[in-house]
Structure 1
Amino acid sequence: MKNNHCNQKEKAEQFHRYHVKEHPLVLVNVWDAGSAQTIQSTGAKAIATGSWSVAAAHGEQDGEALPFQLVLTNLARITKSIDLPVTIDIEGGYGRSVSEVKQNVLQIIEHGAVGINIEDQLPCDEGMYSVAEQCLRLCAAREAANEAGIPLFINARTDLFLQQVPEKHNEALVNEAIARSEAYAEAGASGLFVPGLQDQQWIQELCDRSPIPVNVMVTSNEPSPRQLATLGVARISYGPYPYLQVMENLKVLGQRILTGA
């Protein structure tokens, strides 16, 4: 057990070092042990799950509909099947209270993860936690990591840019994201995740002003990874898109087989 703990701690420290401004860590999000093994074989530095993909692979909707025990079981299968550091998307932490978040993060660490994504959006798209509320939850996650003796990478996701269409993204929204970034860093966050942000000017400004590394999610409308690196991004992820691409390829293959084409 001691060796496993030391190995997990080393992976966590290594994962932190991968977040370098202008030399971003690129994460192709996976959903199970098989997809994790495939991405590991491509030369990836680390493995990240995406909650949407994991839920879809289990026939569920995103939004903490997948039972937490299944999240843990899936995580354990992933961490036991590969050698790379693993970070897991736990949505809002599967609990509104500080105590629930702490206990859930402890279990996540026990199952082998060295990083988490935790968001400030309320379940079922009911709005967002206040900065104060989310900071308490982030403090609880950091407290859990400290108790476990693992330097967990806490990727604090803010949904500010998903709450507004890209055309309405502006300086005020970026300033609000900066304020959250500063508060979340004080609460123990290791990075800031800004899904939905697409404008290169705002991405660069956020990277310039954020006290913690910035994670951008790539979509067809956003800059290339190389461009994002020049803007100061430290982490690039792909969310549900790998899963969607794989399922589309499977659908085409199935149609071809079944129609005899």
Structure 2
Amino acid sequence: MNTLATRFHQLHQQDLLILTNVADATGARLVEHLGGRAVATSSAAVAWAHGYPDGNALPLERLVATVQSIARVISVPLTVDVEAGYSDDLGRVAEVLDAVIAAGAVGINIEDGSADPELLARKIERARQVAKKRDVKLFINARTDVYLKGLVPADERVTETLRRAALYQSAGADGLFAAGVTAAYEIDAICQGTTLPVNVLGFASLPPPETLQVLGVRRLSAGSGIAEFLYGAMGGLVNSFLATGKLDTHDLKAFTYGEVNDLLK
């Protein structure tokens, strides 16, 4: 397992690592087959696949079963999005992380959301302790939602992101996920302001991968975007089939994150 963990760490020190987020084992195997150097889960996509909304609602046993099924069919590193650890209780967070690592994850995403960043720092410390007991060189990717949730005024976003990056790095984080940043000058400032490998989310307004690499980005994630498109395509096919009895693949479009998530609330 540590061979995969070491490889995953190394992938963040080379060129841009492009991670295609999946919901299940077949999707993970497809990513590896098509050349993915690692596989990532999307917390939203995994929750949706099990009939739950995104947002700390997925039962642990469903998450663990998904991780086990993915790890069984791939030979590349697997990183798992654990949302905010599915709890604010540090003991419970430790249980979740221990189960995810035991199931085959060598990396995690864990996020701050709208909570006090000190709470995520404590969760990161607990994750490091759990990984040490498991003797796994876990890659802890700390996601900050400064941009995604608009936590501070626009002119303070870079400064606040870097403040949190320093806090999370001190707690034991290996990477910084600045989810939602898209402007090249802000990406550059974030990459220059931290020694952590920087991860960005693949929004349409993001600079191309070649530019991201020049700016210093080391990881690009699809997030829930692929799942949103797939559910949108399914909706188009179902609607057409119900109306005509034929599978019409024209004019398919993605659902938005909100449309999929709202279906399950």
Q: Give the unaligned 5+ runs of structure 1.
A: 1-7, 122-126
| Corresponding position of 1:67 | 59
Amino acid at match of 1:182: A
User: What percentage of aligned pairs have identical amino acids?
Assistant: 35
Counterpart Cα distance in 1 of 2:109 and 2:24: 17
Asked if residue 95 in structure 1 is aligned to residue 87 in structure 2, the reply is yes
User: 2:187 aligned with 1:203, yes or no?
Assistant: yes
Letter of the 2:197 counterpart: P
Distance 1:183 1:165 in 2: 17
Question: What is the TM-score of this pair, normalised by structure 2?
Answer: 0.88
Alpha carbons 1:181, 1:211 under 8 Å: kept:
no
**1:256 to partner: Cα distance:** 4.9
Question: 2:33 matched to which residue of 1?
Answer: 41
Name the residue aligned to 1:14.
Answer: 7
1:128 aligns with 2:115: yes
Instruction: State the one-letter code of the partner of 1:9.
Output: N
Unaligned runs of 5+ in 2: 249-265
Q: Which residue of 2 aligns with 1:146?
A: 132
2-structure distance, mates of 1:108, 1:194: 23
Asked if the contact 1:92/1:118 (under 8 Å) is kept, the reply is: yes
Which residue number in structure 2 is paired with residue 194 of structure 1?
178
Q: Which residue of 1 aligns with 2:257?
A: none
Which residue is 2:262 aligned to? none
3-state SS, counterpart of residue 22 of structure 2: coil
Look up the match of 1:238. Answer: 222
Distance 1:61 1:160 in 2: 22
Contact 2:145-2:151 within 8 A present in 1 as well:
no
Q: Which structure has the higher relative contact order (CA within 8 Å, separation 6+)?
A: 1
Question: Given residue 118 of structure 1, which amino acid in structure 2 is its aligned partner?
Answer: I
Matched residue of 1:117: which SS? strand
Partner AA of 2:8 in structure 1? F
Q: TM-score, normalised by structure 1?
A: 0.89
Looking at structure 1, the residues matched to 204 and 157 of structure 2 have their Cα atoms a distance apart, in angstroms, of 22
What SS class does the counterpart of residue 63 from structure 2 fall into? helix
In structure 1, what is the Cα distance between the partners aligned to 2:123 and 2:238? 44
Residue-pair matches, total:
245
Partner AA of 2:2 in structure 1: K
CA distance in 2, matches of 1:72, 1:190: 23
Does the CA-based 8 Å contact 1:181-1:192 persist in structure 2?
Answer: yes
State the AA in 2 paired with 1:217. L
Aligned-pair distance for 1:150? Answer: 0.3
Distance apart, 1:24 and its partner CA:
1.2
- Give the 3 Å change call, closer, same or farther, for CA 187–165 of structure 1 in structure 2: closer
Cα RMSD between the aligned structures?
Answer: 1.7
Give the aligned residue type for 1:15: F
Equivalent of 1:109, from 101, 109, 124? 101
The equivalent residue for 2:144 is 158
Q: Distance in 1 between matches of 2:171 and 2:130?
A: 13
SS at match of 1:155: strand
